[in-house]
Amino acid sequence: MTVHYHKGDLPADLDLGPIVAVDTETLGLSLTRDMLCVVQLSAGDGDAHVVQMVRPDYDCPNLKRVLADPAVEKILHFARFDVAMAEKYLGVTMEPIFCTKIASKLARTYTDRHGLKDVTRELVGADMNKQQQSSDWGAADLSPAQLEYAASDVLYLHKLREKLMMMLDREGRLELAKACFDFLPTRARLDLAGWPETDIFAHS
């Protein structure tokens, strides 16, 4: 596993292929308060690319091109948050999407443990270290521990997608999952526009 640390943008000539794992790190979990700091990507080859954002300009045309490319499927865990962050700070809509959290909720109905660490442990057999989760992602230089953590969040997503697709297919829920993924940009825009956490389809 190699972690490539890019400051500002991805290299222009980097080809990550048709299915890219994506994650983001922010200063906190609030869409209105906290800024996007880091975007991580992997082609599923065991390497990770960690792109540190230059705030507040977010001048990263190569990264934006990959994220906005309709020919590139983006795999994310809890895509709702990252999709909103990408809309707000990068001005791009990430589509098409495969959200491993939604897929897990639709396929793994025998459990309520759908965090990335739990799903990865069960389906890939890998143990993720979540120690750097709440660290200062706005720092001028990311530490080796932060880089390793950021990278680990995208390294298993291709394998998870494969496993979850098999389970969804087995349970006849692939179409339902796809329909949920397609709604994600809308859900993210509702979040950004201030609609509450409550399901928009809820009665009250």
**Closest residue to Mn ion: CB criterion:** 153
Cβ proximity to Mn ion, 134 vs 204, nearer residue:
134
Q: Pick out residues in 4-23 that bind Mn ion (CB under 5 A).
A: 23
Q: Pick out residues in 135-164 that bind Mn ion (CB under 5 A).
A: 153
Contacts of 58-62 with CB under 8 Å at 24 or more apart are 58/89, 58/90, 59/8, 59/9, 60/8, 60/9, 60/10, 60/90, 61/9, 62/9, 62/10, 62/11, 62/12, 62/14
Q: In angstroms, rounded to a whole number, what is the distance separating the alpha carbons of residues 58 and 52?
A: 10
Least gap, CB of 153 to Mn ion (angstroms): 4
Picking from 65, 85, 50, 52, the residue whose alpha carbon sits closest to that of residue 189 is 85
Least gap, CB of 134 to Mn ion (angstroms): 11
Cβ proximity to Mn ion, 107 vs 150, nearer residue:
150
Which residue's structure tokens are 């950004």? 192
Under the binding rule (CB under 5 A), the answer on residue 82 touching Mn ion is: no
Picking from 22, 34, 27, 39, the residue whose alpha carbon sits closest to that of residue 133 is 27
Least gap, CB of 157 to Mn ion (angstroms): 11
Cβ proximity to Mn ion, 121 vs 173, nearer residue:
121
Least gap, CB of 175 to Mn ion (angstroms): 29
Total of residues contacting Mn ion (CB under 5 A): 2
Residues of the shown chain interacting with Mn ion in the complex, contacts defined by CB under 5 A: 23, 153
